Amino acid sequence: MSAILPGATIGILGGGQLGRMMAMAARSLGYRIHVMDPDPSCPARFVVDACFEGSWDDARAAADLARGSDVVTLEIEQISLDCLRAAERFAPVRPGIEMMRIIQNRILQKNWLRDEGFPIGEYRAIQDETEVAPSLAALGGKCFVKSASGGYDGRSQVKTGFDEQTPDVWKLLGGRPCIAEKALDLDQEISVMVARSPRGETKSFPSARNHHENQILVWSVIPSAVPQEIEQKAQQIACAIADRFELEGLLAVELFLTRSGELLVNELAPRPHNSYHASERACVTSQFEQAIRAVCDLPLGDVAVVQPAAISNLLGDLWLGHEPRFDQALTVPGVTLHLYEKHTPRKGRKMGHLSAIGATPDEAVARVLEAQALL
Ligand SMILES: Nc1ncnc2c1ncn2[C@@H]1O[C@H](COP(=O)(O)OP(=O)(O)OP(=O)(O)O)[C@@H](O)[C@H]1O
Ligand SMILES: [Mg+2]
């Protein structure tokens, strides 16, 4: 198998911030980039050679994208299988379609993890309304119920058992198949990003530590500074999952560390991940460059940490009062601003992030939060 060399064209399904940052890394390496996105003024629009307008199930647009591409990758898992199959008629699709089929459905994904023997929390798949009550009863107590497909940033999720109210889970999730998970008592959340190339080279980044509020990532830091033994376990799990899938590209493995000391897989994301934005500053190779190297079958880059770095997300909420005071935030040492050129701020919408380096992970987090507070 031969590498796809600079000068070639990479097609990306999805032109959001992840597609944009992948495109920027690809440009630095000398590639041409085409994206497909439903929104013609998507964040990647300004850094790519061509933008194909098409919804996530527009197989014709996906074929058009692939026709002019040497390889096709993606930045969002909700691309329909028809789109991926249409693209594959013209160019290799990486990650592969079978892996995407499993990951893009939470029920298939959880069942796969269970069948392959990876550690996960208790859950029940819910196919129709009659299964809601027995599933919640079987799990007992607090639960997270998540749509089988389509959710991100905590959307398409309902919490039950946290207070007196009993929400109509089935209705709230649109009357579609979903999965109920027992709410775990979390000590920490971490993630591990693995890259694997078609020739079978695998590299996994040191784990990131992630802090969520209301099911949305607030800040993240690399390295996570978890004890060595947990780091090893997390790396083993992530690499074994990538190998089992014969991954071609990136796979982010989100993990829960419970108060009782268990390390459990939360979910998988076959693409760059918000929790590795700090790799641009923390690691020798960023996740975005690594994604390009992996899908082009180039040698993978060094994943060593050069300096601890943290990011904090800038949500649309910040724009609702006044324009954020970026000039203030940038007075904090080691802080850098990343904006995605999204023109309509909305509550909960990821508009950009701040990053900060520090002598230690704690210092990096403290600085990025100090800068955020000045906005
Ligand atoms: N079973 C659970 N027990 C405890 N906390 C949970 C559970 N499931 C989800 N959460 C919390 O909600 C967050 C978001 O959940 P999850 O990763 O499943 O959703 P998502 O919408 O796919 O998020 P994202 O797209 O940001 O990764 C988790 O990172 C965690 O903080
Ligand atoms: Mg998640």
Is the pLDDT at 152 greater than 80? The verdict is no
pLDDT for position 1: 67
Closest C-alpha to 94, from 196, 212, 211 = 196
Is the pLDDT at 151 greater than 80? The verdict is no
Residue of the CA atom closest to atom 23 of ligand 1: 153
Residues 96-123 have a mean pLDDT of: 98
| Ranges of CATH 3.30.1490.20 domains, the chain | 122-182
Starting from the CA of residue 179, give the closest ligand: 1
Under a CB-based contact definition with an 8 Å cutoff, are residues 81 and 75 in contact? no
Please return the burial class of 261, using the count of CB atoms within 10 Å of its CB with bins 0-12, 13-18 and 19+.
exposed
Percent of the chain with pLDDT over 70: 99
Task: Mark residue 153 as left, alpha or beta (left: phi above 0; alpha: psi -120 to 50; beta: remaining).
Answer: left
Residues 174-203 have a mean pLDDT of: 97
Question: Does CATH place domain 9-93 in 3.40.710.10?
Answer: no
Superfamily of domain 186-373: ATP-grasp fold, B domain (3.30.470.20)
Residues 100-112 have a mean pLDDT of: 98
Closest C-alpha to 74, from 47, 99, 109 = 99
The fold adopted by the segment(s) 122-182 is: Dna Ligase; domain 1 (3.30.1490)
| Ranges of CATH 3.40.50.20 domains, the chain | 9-93
Between CA 140 and CA 161 the distance in angstroms is 8
Strand 249-258 to 263-269 pairing? antiparallel
- Could you tell me which residues come within 8 angstroms of residue 171 by beta carbon, excluding any fewer than 6 positions away? none
152 lines ligand 1 (CB under 6 A): yes
Query: Rounded to the nearest whole angstrom, what is the distance from the C-alpha of residue 44 to the centroid of ligand 2?
Result: 23
Residues 172-197 have a mean pLDDT of: 97
Protein residues with C-beta less than 5 angstroms from the ion ligand 2? 254
Is 309 flagged in the annotation as binding? no
189 lines ligand 1 (CB under 6 A): yes
Starting from the CA of residue 189, give the closest ligand: 1
- What angle, rounded to 10 degrees, do the helices at 17-28 and 287-295 form? 70
Pocket test for ligand 1, best of 178, 215, 265 (most atoms within 8 A of CB): 215
Residues 361-372 have a mean pLDDT of: 98
| Ranges of CATH 3.30.470.20 domains, the chain | 186-373
- Strand partners for 196: 202, 249
